[in-house]
Structure 1
Amino acid sequence: MLSKKSTRLTAAAFMLTGGLALASCSSGSAADDSGESTHTFSVASFLIDETPNADMVHWFLDTVTEKSDGRITFDYFAAESLCPAGEIVQCVTDGRADMGIVPPTYTPDKFPLQNLAALPFMTDDNQAMMAAFHQLDEGNPQFTAESSNLGLHNLGYWSAGASIFGTKTEIAEPDDFDGLRVRAVGDGLLSALEAVGASPVALTAGEMYEGVERGVIDGVANNLDAPISYKLTEVLDNWTDTGYGHYITIGMWMSQSAYDSLPADLQKVVDEAEVALNDGQGISVFAETAATQCDYMLEQENVTLTRWDDDTIDEFKELTGDTAKKAWIETAGAAGVEDPAAVLEAYEAALTEFSSDPADRVAPLAECAQRFADR
């Protein structure tokens, strides 16, 4: 893995530097000693550092800096320290930031097609999903237009991680969800939980711990970040992979104006790094960090992590039905998408294509559950 050389500005650093930091947020270009242009771009991210998603982003940024021989560098603002998560897309479009990293579902009115990731039981393969989204972005005009119409240059969409349920009591089958209050986001998860008698509760990630501690919720639906980054193993012992798969994507964009400011040779550097990010190298970095998260969970004596067997997963899937797909098609159509069913069909075909070789499967959550079963 490349060393993490991109400039990182935390919330505390941002507050300390005040107006000076804000003044550096717009893209800048200059000439180095050889007369070649140099560029520094600001990056507004919602991600907490030292997580699988953040490490993958830093790998991309470091790759661009290295391959450009330092002519492209980045000022990286982690954990919403430049823009609140719900405003990151707007920050990029209005010039407060040059790049943005945030789930498209935080602004669903702008990205109805990207919310395909919320559909249940599509895949738990991180790389298959990322490659499928990249193929849509490269070849489906409706999908590409969502970003280009906002003045955004797509760099990648990937899963935040497969859905994992943390609960106070053991969840051994779908009926065990009945009556539970579960923190969840994403239309697909909401539909699935309601189908098995649970009550979805809307809380931010930062509110999960207190929500459990105060009895507002009985459990959470999140990814492998939740037990570690939000310290939820302190209040929830039982963690379950129900086979639901992915529930949310993270998008990374550069403003089109920032991309256009680069000379052709540096645009090529960004383009090649984008291909590498999407063809499996990025997810390899993600998986490395996710494995360390599993190490942490295995060290917690109070924690269990189980994956449902295929029959139980099929039962959950049958109870959920196709309600989420129908709702997604209706929502996308209402948002002005001309033929959302055709986009869904293309997405499913791409998932099938990129999931064809089991040897290429990257599913850190399922792998972690297997490690628990083997110990």
Structure 2
Amino acid sequence: MSITRRHAVAAIASTLALGSTASAQEKSITIRFPFEYAADVAPGLANQAFKKLVEERSKGRIKVQLYPNGSLLKGLDLLQGVVRGDAEMTTLVSAYWVGVSPKLSVFDLPYAFPTHEAFYKAMDDRDFQKEVFDELEGKGVKVLGMLPYDYVVPGSRKGPIVKPEDFKGLKLRAVGKTNAAALSAIGATAVAINITEVATSIQQGVIDGLNTPLDAFLSYRFHEAIKNITYARYFFAFYPWTVNSKFWEGLSEADRKLIGDAAAETISGHKIRAREAANNAKAELAQKGVKFHEQTADEAKAWAKGMSPIWEASEKQFGKPLIDKMRTFGG
């Protein structure tokens, strides 16, 4: 073979190799992103913001398909679907993940986060996050961060909930096992119902009320039956931002950075968005005839005393060091 011909063959081979590499780097990606809640509540708006960031920065090469209201998967099916790879990503309330990673239940301890800033301290504590999320990351998902929401507050169709005695006889929808235990400890009957089934359950008398963030009362029209809400800062809801591990590991380093950065920016901006959504919802609910009771410090102490066995049980389960760490955020 002549030198000229060898050079030509080498050039063609090099071009093909470069083309193959470029093709691999520029492959189209679809992220199926189901979630249980509505698209117009605060975390749904966060997911929309994430979609916009990813698709703009990838120039449309990475598509994010959102499936709100449990339209693709919901509840434990959603959790298992992300672990299996039936969906690539989700923001599913932490209570569902407790079955996979029991340590996550410490976030649901009553009055663990008496202020938003207390929760943000836990969010930003990398060592604490590693300790709590390591167990979860060994089960087939990668945690990109924590999407904060707001306080899950109790509402009732039977009357105001102010004193611990007011819980007696009430059937309330609980959010996870720890919240259910807290409600039971203070005298309520805790009922496990998916958020998508709550409205029907209220109409049929299956439950007398529920715990949910303020903007969800509006989005799901719970306020049409629930006329009494107590703003008690006893349970702060958030969503571990999870992605299927195999999907994540199969991405290029550049794509992992693009997606991870978009999630981090969304989470950072969402702190303000979620608080504004709660304030706006409170004003709108009041206009629609809902009666609000802002819990006082003395009332909070009375509720916390009734729910204190939950802290004691968690300390026995997870050890004093972890629970003492939890106390530092609220203290």
TM over 0.5: yes
Alpha-carbon shift at residue 169 of structure 1 (Å) = 1.0
**Residues of 2 paired with 1:204 and 1:34: CA distance?**
41
Instruction: State the match for 1:294 in structure 2.
Output: 282
Instruction: State the match for 1:253 in structure 2.
Output: 242
Alpha-carbon shift at residue 153 of structure 1 (Å) = 1.5
The sequence identity of aligned pairs, in percent, is: 22
Instruction: State the match for 1:313 in structure 2.
Output: 300
Whether 1:177 aligns to 2:167 is: yes
Whether 1:343 aligns to 2:331 is: no
- 1:204-215 correspondence runs (5 A): 204-215=194-205
Q: Deviations over 1:48-83 (max 9, x none)?
A: 110111111222232233333434321122222222
**Residues of 2 paired with 1:139 and 1:204: CA distance?**
29
Is the alpha carbon distance of 1:128 and 1:312 closer, same or farther for their aligned partners in structure 2, counting shifts above 3 Å? closer
**Residues of 2 paired with 1:296 and 1:32: CA distance?**
52
**Residues of 2 paired with 1:108 and 1:244: CA distance?**
18
Instruction: State the match for 1:220 in structure 2.
Output: 210
- Contact 1:44–1:80 under 8 Å retained in 2: yes
- 1:1-375 correspondence runs (5 A): 36-126=26-116, 128-130=118-120, 132-133=122-123, 135-136=125-126, 141-167=130-156, 168-246=158-236, 248-278=237-267, 280-300=268-288, 302-321=289-308, 323-330=309-316, 333=317, 340-350=319-329
Comparing 47-56 with 255-264, which one deviates more in the overlay?
Answer: 255-264
Q: Deviations over 1:203-232 (max 9, x none)?
A: 332333333333333322222144212222
User: Where is the helix percentage greater, Structure 1 or Structure 2?
Assistant: 2
- Name the count of aligned residue pairs: 311
- Contact 2:25–2:252 under 8 Å retained in 1: no
Name the Cα RMSD after superposition.
2.9
**Residues of 2 paired with 1:304 and 1:140: CA distance?**
37
**Residues of 2 paired with 1:104 and 1:140: CA distance?**
13
Instruction: State the match for 2:14 in structure 1.
Output: none
Residue 345 of structure 1 aligns with an amino acid whose one-letter code is D
**Residues of 2 paired with 1:71 and 1:341: CA distance?**
48
Alpha-carbon shift at residue 132 of structure 1 (Å) = 1.4
Is the alpha carbon distance of 1:150 and 1:130 closer, same or farther for their aligned partners in structure 2, counting shifts above 3 Å? farther
Alpha-carbon shift at residue 192 of structure 1 (Å) = 3.1
The TM-score, its normalising length taken from structure 2, stands at 0.81
**Residues of 2 paired with 1:350 and 1:71: CA distance?**
41
Compare CA radii of gyration and give the structure with the larger one. 2
Alpha-carbon shift at residue 35 of structure 1 (Å) = 7.1
Is the alpha carbon distance of 1:235 and 1:192 closer, same or farther for their aligned partners in structure 2, counting shifts above 3 Å? same
- Contact 2:113–2:329 under 8 Å retained in 1: no
Is the alpha carbon distance of 1:217 and 1:45 closer, same or farther for their aligned partners in structure 2, counting shifts above 3 Å? closer
The TM-score, its normalising length taken from structure 1, stands at 0.73
Counterpart secondary structure, 1:262: coil
Structure 1 gap ranges (5+): 1-29, 334-338, 353-375
**Residues of 2 paired with 1:303 and 1:108: CA distance?**
33
**Residues of 2 paired with 1:144 and 1:170: CA distance?**
37
Instruction: State the match for 2:13 in structure 1.
Output: none
Structure 2 gap ranges (5+): 1-19
